[in-house]
Structure 1
Amino acid sequence: MAQIFKRPALGLPSVVPMDTTTAATGQHTDHGVPHGFTSLTPFHTVQDAQGAIAWYERVFGARTVDVTHMPDGKGGTLVAHATLDFGRGRLQISDPMPDFGLVAPHEDDVVCSSIALYVPDVDAVVAEAQAAGATLREPLADFVSGDRFASIRDPHGLRWAVMTRVEDLSDEESAARVREWAAGQG
């Protein structure tokens, strides 16, 4: 059972759980996480989700796991939910759905998030991305973290930090280098 009450500051209803959740574990799920997913799976709204799916398949080698369409209210359909597998992580996307508070990224270059994607050959992937319409934000460079990276914005509005680890560093070594670099900035 759940109890509904008003959040005083906002006057909005909230749900307070009275029982705990029992996570499924079985043939398709481990401790509440479906196989193939990690604990964190970003969900982004993009302009033209169907086009974005094709772009991510072509440029990043993503595999479409599932796409759910729904009526768009204008006689057509929109992508309500799509799951893409990038090998060691998944991304979920949808078309804008303002009724659910989901809007596409701004058309300018200002973003509130960036997706980091590790690939075996960052130079080749960035070249393919640019050829397919991505905007280069930060050119290819080797960074103190041990990564070679570039920052792009895809044609559907998402910003990506595309990287290849070019030095075999531990998490601690990489973080220490980044801290040292950051201390020398400004």
Structure 2
Amino acid sequence: MASTVEDTGTARPVPAGSRFGGSGFGTAARPVRPTGVPLRTRSFFGGIEMTVQTVPDGYTTVTPWVLSHDTAALIDYLTDAFGALELPGSRFVGADGRIGHAEVRIGDAIVMMFDIDPTIPAPPAFLRLYVEDADEVHRRAVAAGGTSVTEVTHLFFGDRVGRVRDPFGNLWWIQSRVEEVTPEEMERRLVDPEFVAAMAYVQSARFFPEQPSAE
């Protein structure tokens, strides 16, 4: 099976790959889309040529992974907290019962996830979520079982920002743009006591619970 990519009229060979990268389903190998250039791939399967879109509909250039020991429970939390929708047909379950791949849509973005080896600590993911009402979504994320790391705070660049740690240790920045701030006003706010205090508050927060004492 071979593929070529067309961009500005020059075709170059690219490795074939699967979109299910990082979860045991292969490694994705996609060309980077140049700005303003709609890439198309000419692929040959069994001697039949077909043209495909290199970035599937609904996907953006960057798609985050969230690794967990309980992906099913993580999906339930994201559904309750952020209105996530699991993509039909995206969940693959292995013979051991662990989820090897799943995808959810939150707003206009897709988040991928899978169960990792239970003997390996799950690394925390850090994600920013833009929403219409940061206060309401922050409350909902906490009510669903998350822990508030910082309450929603109006910051100097024009966003209201709160942070929640979900039950699986992932950090979510929950933000709403509430005003457009000029560079001049932003510079003024950097020394405004109200905004200085607000930034000091969010910067002083601990992302994760303190480790148990060794004593």
**Which residue number in structure 2 is paired with residue 85 of structure 1?**
105
Asked if the contact 1:45–1:94 (Cα under 8 Å) also holds between the matched residues in 2, the reply is: yes
Q: Which structure: greater strand fraction?
A: 1
Q: What is aligned with 1:20?
A: 13
Deviation at 1:60, TM superposition (A): 0.4
Look up the match of 1:33: 55
Q: What is the distance in 2 between the residues matched to 1:149 and 1:29?
A: 40
**% identical aligned pairs:** 28
- 2-structure distance, mates of 1:39, 1:55: 25
Q: Pick one of 91, 102, 109 that aligns with 1:67.
A: 91
**Greater Cα radius of gyration, structure 1 or 2:** 2
Which of 156, 164, 168 does residue 152 from structure 1 map onto? 164
One-letter code aligned to 1:68: F
Alignment of 1:31-180 (within 5 A): 32-65=54-87, 66-72=90-96, 77-97=97-117, 103-105=121-123, 113-168=125-180, 173=182, 177=186
- CA separation of 1:128/1:98 partners in 2, compared to 1, >3 Å: closer, same or farther? closer
CA contact (8 A) 1:122 1:162 kept: yes
* Amino acid aligned to 2:173: A
SS in 2 for 1:33: coil
Gaps of 5+ in 1: 1-18, 106-110
Distance 2:154 2:162 in 1: 9
After superposition, the Cα gap between the structure-2 partners of 1:29 and 1:150, relative to the gap in structure 1 and judged at 3 Å, is farther
Q: In the TM superposition, what whole-angstrom CA distance separates every residue of 1:40-90 from its partner, at most 9, and x where no partner exists?
A: 001120231101101111110111112111122xxxx01111111112211
TM-score, normalised relative to structure 1: 0.68
* Number of residues of Structure 1 aligned to a counterpart in Structure 2: 150
Task: Give a deviation string over 1:8-38, Cα, whole Å, max 9, x none.
Answer: xxxxxxxxxxx73186738x963x2111010
After TM superposition, the runs of 4+ consecutive aligned structure 1 residues lying more than 4 A away are none
- State the Cα RMSD in Å: 3.2
- What is the SS of the residue equivalent to 1:155? coil
> How far apart, CA to CA, are the structure 2 residues paired with 1:62 and 1:167?
27
CA distance in 1, matches of 2:66, 2:122: 8
**Cα distance, 1:177 vs. partner?**
3.3
Q: Which runs of 5+ in 2 are unaligned?
A: 1-11, 16-30, 32-38, 42-50, 201-215
CA distance in 2, matches of 1:34, 1:83: 14
**Alpha carbons of 1:141 and 1:37: their partners in 2 closer, same or farther (altered >3 Å)?**
same
Q: With the length of structure 2 as denominator, give the TM-score of the two structures.
A: 0.60
